Structure 1
């Protein structure tokens, strides 16, 4: 059985919709709304088809497909640069220190500052894997395929990349952070605001969100406790981001308070360590308990870009790959492919 990552097409609408219904809320990049998902697929098609070699307001959507059955089991997204056609808001955690001579005391207050610091940065997001497939390294295949796409289309992406992790959502589908901060100003609950944002964008944040700093000490205990904390289902994703070189620099999502992780694009581990090589042979002696090393293998550009796990071995100043990987990705001797270690 071989799974591949491939570009999404308009025929994937139903697949995306079924996955969107399974997210459990708080997943802005994958709303359970056919109209919004159709718009995403149309935008992705335009991005894949666009000529030029510069950063633009592009969004790319990819699907995880089981080549044996044709079933689609996951998805992920990459944004070339956010905030080019509208504000992109985050909260930045800062501090204000004040001293009283009369009391002889210094007070330090942690503060949430509304920020557009992420504007112009690339974003990786929209990753969803079917619960029945969360083993065998498929989550890693989805996540890291995005970095190989960025590497092989480097001029289309910014100097810095970020990822927003979903924050803590309670059993009722609400957000303690939203209830403690923005919900006081918007007259809508978290689910309503998150759905509105997914469908219509976040201009309403610019219209209604107070611009003054928010003192964290004035929030409820529940709201304070979840600032910068990922949803339990996102802890593995956070570890994968850290392994790639992403770090939390005190930015959080304005809706649920989840952490925003950032990295220099060229320093992302998969971008930095991936190499190109010419395929010299398709070798059926490669594989589990046979020989070679299991790696991520990528081929193609834009709409033809694909990634899969494959067995790779050095061969005559190039490489050999196993037949299953070659068949899944359409690899033939003489082609140049990109590969990186699986870790």
Structure 2
């Protein structure tokens, strides 16, 4: 059984909608709304068509497809530059230290500062793997294929890349952070705000969010406890990001308080370690595990981009690949491929 990553199209709307209903809320980039998803797919199609080699307001949506059944079993996204259409807001945790000579005490207060520091960065997000496929390294295939796409279309992306991890959501689908901070100013529940943001963008945040710093000590215990914490289902994603070189620099999401991870784009591990070669031979003995190693392989430009796991063996003037991978990627001898170690 082989899985590939490919560009999403309008024909993928229904399976994306079905997966969106499984996310459990707080997943802004994959809303359970057909119209919003259709808009995303249309924007993605326009991005794949655009040939200009420079950053723009692009969204690239990919899907994970089972090549045997043609079922879509996962998805991921890349935003080439955030904050071009609407401001990209984050909270940055800062500190204020004050000293009283009379009391002989020094106080350090942690503060949430509304920030647009990350505007212009590229963003990887929208990663969702169907619960029935959470084995065999498919989550890594989804995640890392994005970095290979960025590498092979590097002029279209920024020098900094971010990833927002979903924050803690309670059993009722609410957000302790939202209830303790923004919910006090918006007159709507977390679910309502999350849905509105998915459909209409976050300009309403600019209109209504208080611009003054917020002292964390003044928040409820429940809100304080989840600041910078990922949703339990996102801990593995956080570890994958850390393996790629992402770090948490005290930025948190304004909706649910989840951590926003950042990295210099050229320092992403998959970007740094990937290599380009010519396919010189398709060899069944690789699939039998006699030689070579299993690697992440991709090929293609823009909408023709495809990625899959394959058995690869280095040769004097290129690489050999197993037949299943070559068929999945629709490549033959003489074609160019990019590959990186599976780890």
Which TM-score tier does this pair reach, normalised by the shorter chain? over 0.9
The match for 1:195 is 195
The match for 2:334 is 334
Aligned-partner Cα distance in 2 for 1:215–1:108: 11
The match for 1:209 is 209
Query: 2:286 aligns to what SS in structure 1?
Result: coil
Superimposed CA distance per residue, residues 256-288 of structure 1 (whole angstroms, 9 cap, x where no aligned partner)? 000000000000000000000011100111025
The match for 2:64 is 64
The match for 1:273 is 273
Q: TM-score, normalised by structure 2?
A: 0.99
Query: 2:144 aligns to what SS in structure 1?
Result: helix
* Matched ranges for 1:45-60 at <5 A: 45-60=45-60
Aligned-partner Cα distance in 1 for 2:232–2:287: 35
Aligned-partner Cα distance in 2 for 1:31–1:102: 55
* Matched ranges for 1:226-245 at <5 A: 226-245=226-245
The match for 1:176 is 176
Using the TM superposition, give the Cα deviation of residue 15 of structure 1 relative to its aligned residue in structure 2, in angstroms: 1.1
CA contact (8 A) 1:280 1:316 kept: no
CA gap of 1:218–1:138, structure 2 versus 1, over 3 A, is same
CA contact (8 A) 1:111 1:214 kept: yes
May I ask how many residue pairs the two structures share in their alignment?
A: 343
The match for 1:78 is 78
Aligned-partner Cα distance in 2 for 1:17–1:283: 39
Aligned-partner Cα distance in 2 for 1:214–1:220: 12
Aligned-partner Cα distance in 2 for 1:8–1:289: 32
CA contact (8 A) 1:74 1:127 kept: yes
Query: 2:45 aligns to what SS in structure 1?
Result: helix
Aligned-partner Cα distance in 1 for 2:244–2:314: 25
Aligned-partner Cα distance in 1 for 2:306–2:51: 19
Gaps of 5+ in 1: none
The match for 1:33 is 33
Superimposed CA distance per residue, residues 141-190 of structure 1 (whole angstroms, 9 cap, x where no aligned partner)? 00000000000000000000000000000000000000000011111110
1:13 equivalent in alignment to 2:13: yes
1:138 equivalent in alignment to 2:138: yes
Query: 2:12 aligns to what SS in structure 1?
Result: helix
Gaps of 5+ in 2: none
> Which portions of structure 1, spanning 4 or more consecutive aligned residues, are displaced by more than 4 angstroms?
none
The match for 2:111 is 111
* Matched ranges for 1:290-305 at <5 A: 290-305=290-305
Aligned-partner Cα distance in 2 for 1:320–1:232: 40
Q: Provide the alpha-carbon RMSD of the alignment.
A: 0.6
Q: TM-score, normalised by structure 1?
A: 0.99
